[in-house]
Chains A and B, each alone.
Chain A
Amino acid sequence: MPPTLEIKAISGHAGTVPGHGASRDYDVCKLIDVTTCIGCKACEVACLEWNGYSFTETVFDNSYQTMPETAWNYWNLIRFNEHENSDGSISLLMRKDQCMHCADPGCLRACPADGAIVQYANGIVDFHQENCIGCQYCVTGCPFDIPKFNPSTKKVFKCTLCSDRVSNGLEPACIKACPTGCLHFGSKDDMKELAEQRAAQLREQTSHKDAGVYDPAGVGGTHVIYVLHDIKNPEMYGGLPANPRVPFLVKLWKGPVKLLGGWAMFLGVVGVAIHYLRFGPKDPGHTTGPEDKDDRTKS
């Protein structure tokens, strides 16, 4: 039996989570060993083909990189960076960029639309475009700049970690396409162990004495983790944030402000009711005129 996805949280949804507690009991994780990535872009093509996106017109931009950023219809992008080392030598760094599937997803926190963003118990954070209202709050909520807005459909898209494949017992398309095996897929525990082993091997056997595993705590850890040559400088891999966090405003919005907002809304309704009871319906003849505006300017 293929394991089914289990829902843990739903955006904009109050109350109990339907289906909670069923199905598979481990978190999935994609491990990207940046030190063995050869930038072949097979994952880019596999992602497009599996998800049914076709040719996008691109422009050469002084790089092997296909395009400057991921796009609503291009979820998986190898970022190429020519990094100058302290000894003057150059490293060509290639990092597969895509949704990190945070354990504490800023996008989901920010999203006000019921059911537009779903976090499954296995860790996959999925966008359900049929519920998306196009407000793009998720874009603000993401510390990795991943969700991308399609202006023609007014919906936001991103990597699904191939939830459709994973729920049928398959690995994500990028994993299947990777020729060097720099991509791995499995349980978070297993991937974490594999990643730490590789990082230790790099520290002990190569010149990469600062090799480490990128699984940032600021977003509760991620379900996409990296082995980096230099864990102290994740920014050099095309802007991987050293300490990503759900933006403060989003936290505020979904935390105290949301509570406050709820109360404010309630109090507002109560206020309107009292106002109505007290003063009756609004007089349509009395509107704010230009004089009022002028007055305000003067004051």
Chain B
Amino acid sequence: MTNGWIDIKNADMMLVMGGNPAENHPCGFKWVIEAKRQRNAKLIVVDPRLTRTAATSDLFLQIRAGTDIAFLGGLINYTIQNNRIAKDYLLNYTSAPILVKEGFKLPEDGFYSGFDPASQTYDRNTWNYAEGGDMSGKAVAATAQAGDPPQQKSSTAAPKAPFPPPLMPEKVAYDLTLQHPRCVFQLLKQQYSRYTPEMVERITGIPKDQFLKAADLFTSVRKDGDMKKVGTVIYAVGWTQHTFGTQIIRTAAMLQLLLGNVGRAGGGVNALRGHSNIQGATDMAGVFDSLPGYLKVPDPTDKDFKTYIDRITPKTVKPAGWDSFNYYSNTPKFAVSFLKAMYGPAATKENDWAFHYLPKVDRNYSWAQIWDNMYRGSVKGMFAFGMNGVAIGPDSQKNIEALKKADWLVVGEIYPDETSEFWKSPGIKPEEMKTINTTVYRLPCAGFAEKDGSMTNSARWLQWKNVAVPTPGEARLDQDTVAQIFLRVRELYKKEGGKFPDPILNSWWPYTTPYNPSLSDLAKEINGKALADLTDPKTAQVIKAGQQLPGFAWLKDDGTTLCGNWLYSGSWTEAGAMTQRRGTDDPSGLGFYLNWAWSWPANRRGMYNRASCDLQGKPWDPSRRQIWWDEAKQLWVGNDVPDFKADSPPKDHMGPFIMNQEGLGRLFVWLNDGPFPEHYEPIESPVQNLLHPNQSNSPVVKKFKTPADKYGTAAEGFNVICTTYRLTEHYHYWTKNNPMNVQLIPEPFVEIPVELAQELGIQGNDKVKVTSARSYYIAKAFVTKRIKPMTIDGKKMYQIGIPIHQGYRGIQEDAGRDARTILNRLTPTVVDPNAFTPEFKGFLVKLEKA
């Protein structure tokens, strides 16, 4: 979340889309209710189904699954056409005035400039800012282009090498009149002028009048140019789980920048995370392409530390007239301190901080790819802790087939789950079981109440919890299990050597109880400490060697600091565990609670809060004062921790988005699939893309190619749109083992529109079979009025929805009370080209009575 859970109470307008917080985040949803009760805030819900969130909304629109960009693009168009933009904000805090390089092309035909069909990737050379400084009022004359930096030359001659990301020119060209045809604002305006209310209706199925009602309501916060009101956008995996998921979120970010809603209390773009600590998992590099604190992983071209650090450290770009903080210029400090935490004394300046120990990531190792690799036989074993890979899918049957081919599987869980029992999934006969040679080790682990440690919530708060009950029986803590495996592997390396034992032998393991490290030891290491006496030249404050660091501002690139994750620096200082604080004072009444737990970065509760003030440093809304410029102190001060260079006066015109090298909120970016979001159809869609029928899907999305990877079409009879979701009564694939939850929702079901049920002769509670190109699913029919038939480009279409929670292991499953099918047998293996998230929302199925 850019903001936080409690901050939702400060909103005047709320758009919930791609999420269902009332059901999946009921405790956080109280702040939505609070905004409605206390501020008369309006709630707009856009979803394929009328959910329990929609039940409390002021306006609900039923959208076709997978058409979110069309809807949001329509909102952007409406905002611009009706002059609901935040003009000063846009001009000064975003990239709207920046000029884009000549040769850049919008995707009228489905392709941006630079597409390379051979590799199905883009050469993003033209997706960049132009050089040239102030071009205000020189719209027509502006044609000359500064020469490209040499590394930016199009490399079509060698299509196999990945195209390098564009480097921003130092002296960026801009037009403060926003009139230049190549300024970001004009390009954006042109891009979304195609997203008319009529087009939105044809693509999304939302009638024009309803769309206009929602558009008017949401953008009404900026009616008549007033900057006081604030609107928030709230989403969850309903946005991420698409082959264009990252781009949906970008569309929302752009809309919020246009409206001046980012950086402000009650505003922002807010991701609701699906597990109690999934934010923490992401922060600590729970994905293959980042190191803790979102440092980029090294790749094979990084021949030494300098090459690596030069590649990943953004150069400061200062468009004349703006100052830029470019906080990521500190990347070397974060990286060296991280390597010191990894390898301790073995990381020295002389050996490049042991950079050569770090694995160089040579290809995609994302979730779906791991299973694909196992299916193809190149991954031989798997540790599965805290997740149920077979049930998670996509294409659970493919995952089962993959596990059959593996040599071994280690599952750390609190219940026997579908993954550890893949070898007896329905359909496998005893004769076949005998042929499965995978050795399965099932390790009893600890549940959340049996562990201490911190959890990082959606609001970026690190909150420490204590152990409530001891682990039962032989169950052990994760760190116990993992540490023992590591230390024994290390023993083997010591004894037997190996290809490259150094990284294992030299891993820094300074824990008090090495075989079962305490999480407080780890939390302190993650916060970081001084390895030599450090002095702050400004304040003369001294941190002695061995002491905990007060925050990431103290990190050094000379090996005198150690820090496991720079973002978490400040969470466990010499004053103790900030994560354990429980102060409930809230002097501003805005719900920041600066003394409750600790929030990254630097205990800031609302990110980009410089943007909550006007150019002079005064809050846009005096009743919601986050921070402000104190002329007497010559400092930014306030109710929240300023997310800004504290002593940069407003007259210096520093961009508020200090993590971007140019300091501006980006309306134009270089993702893998386009600098502006464009509507593409899901991989399985019943219609051609109405914007460009010849290029329906995103051109950079690649289908998987094993025999298990089948993709269906409407022509083959897969003519019903299906989406998946979670229910408030259950937690993923766990609570089917808990009687209380099972009682609340005892059986799997499929939500079916009344009209479709009538056509197929299906009554409520009938057994139905849902079939995709991959497999089938059997459950009871939930015939409902809450999903209505849709008209998509004049054709009647149906959507159905299926909760994810059941499988072949649980109370009801074990008792044989349901069909023991896993929902994700239906879902396709195909992923977003940026985040590699599978497309669980929006695929095609057939529906029939079972």
Contact = CB atoms under 8 A, between A and B. Distances in A.
B414 interface: no
Contact of B29 (A44, A56, A66, A180): A180
B785 A84 contact: yes
A181 to B, nearest CB: 6
Interface in B128-157: none
A54 B37 CA distance: 35
B737 interface: no
A270 interface: no
A38 B40 contact: no
B23 interface: yes
Interface in A26-65: 35-42, 44-45, 48-49, 54-64
Nearest to A181: B30
Interface stretch (B47-55, B476-484, B709-717): B47-55
A40 B22 CA distance: 8
B27 interface: yes
Interface residues of B, number: 42
A152 interface: no
Contacts of B782: 60, 62-63
A38 B786 contact: no
Nearest to A204: B40
Interface residues on A, range: 35 or more
B755 to A, nearest CB: 13
B358 to A, nearest CB: 43
B291 interface: no
Contacts of B36: 36
A38 B52 contact: yes
Task: Kindly name the residue among A35, A60, A198 whose own CB sees the greatest number of chain B CB atoms within 10 A.
Answer: A60
Interface string A4-27: 000000000000000000000000
Contact of A42 (B26, B53, B54, B727): B26
B786 to A, nearest CB: 6
Contacts of A59: 746-747
Interface in B739-793: 739-740, 742-747, 749, 764-765, 780-786, 788
A205 B781 CA distance: 38
B728 A40 contact: yes
Contacts of B813: none
Contact of A180 (B30, B744, B746, B764): B30
Contacts of B37: 36, 198, 201
B746 A82 contact: no
Given A38-B22, A55-B739, A90 B50 contact: yes
Given A45-B740, A84-B785, A91 B55 contact: yes
A206 interface: yes
A59 B812 CA distance: 11
A198 B727 CA distance: 28
A63 B783 CA distance: 8
Interface string B57-98: 010100000000000000000000000000000000000000
A82 B54 CA distance: 12
Interface string A64-91: 1010000000000000001010000111
A92 B47 CA distance: 14
Nearest to A207: B58
B33 interface: yes
A179 B26 contact: yes
B743 A38 contact: no
B729 interface: yes
A209 to B, nearest CB: 13
Q: Which has the most chain B C-beta neighbours within 10 Å: A39, A93, A207?
A: A39
Given A91-B55, A92-B54, A94-B52, A41 B33 contact: no
Contacts of A54: 739-740
A113 interface: no
A162 interface: no
B56 interface: yes
A63 B780 CA distance: 11
A180 B23 contact: no
Contacts of A49: 740
Contact of B27 (A61, A63, A179, A207): A179
B744 A44 contact: yes
Which one of A42, A61, A66, A180 has the greatest number of beta carbons of chain B within 10 Å?
Answer: A180
A46 B124 CA distance: 56
A296 to B, nearest CB: 51
A64 B26 contact: no
A39 B786 CA distance: 15
A84 B764 CA distance: 18
Given A59-B747, A92-B54, A180 B33 contact: yes
B26 A180 contact: yes
Contacts of B786: 82, 90, 92
A181 B781 CA distance: 33
Contacts of A56: 743
B746 A57 contact: yes
B216 to A, nearest CB: 15
A182 interface: yes
Contacts of A82: 784-786
A248 B788 CA distance: 44
A60 B749 contact: yes
A159 to B, nearest CB: 18
A39 to B, nearest CB: 5
B783 A62 contact: yes
A92 B30 contact: no
Contacts of A64: 52, 727, 729, 745
Interface in A181-227: 181-182, 198, 201, 205-207
11 contacts: A37-B56, A39-B52, A56-B743, A60-B765, A63-B782, A64-B52, A179-B30, A181-B33, A181-B34, A201-B40, A207-B58
Interface of B: 22-23, 26-27, 29-30, 33-34, 36-37, 40, 50-56, 58, 60, 727-729, 739-740, 742-747, 749, 764-765, 780-786, 788
Q: Which 7 A-B pairs have the closest CB atoms?
A: A62-B764, A55-B739, A38-B22, A92-B55, A60-B747, A40-B26, A179-B26
Interface of A: 35-42, 44-45, 48-49, 54-64, 66, 82, 84, 89-94, 179-182, 198, 201, 205-207
Given A40-B23, A55-B743, A57-B743, 6 more contacts: A38-B29, A40-B22, A41-B728, A45-B740, A92-B50, A198-B37
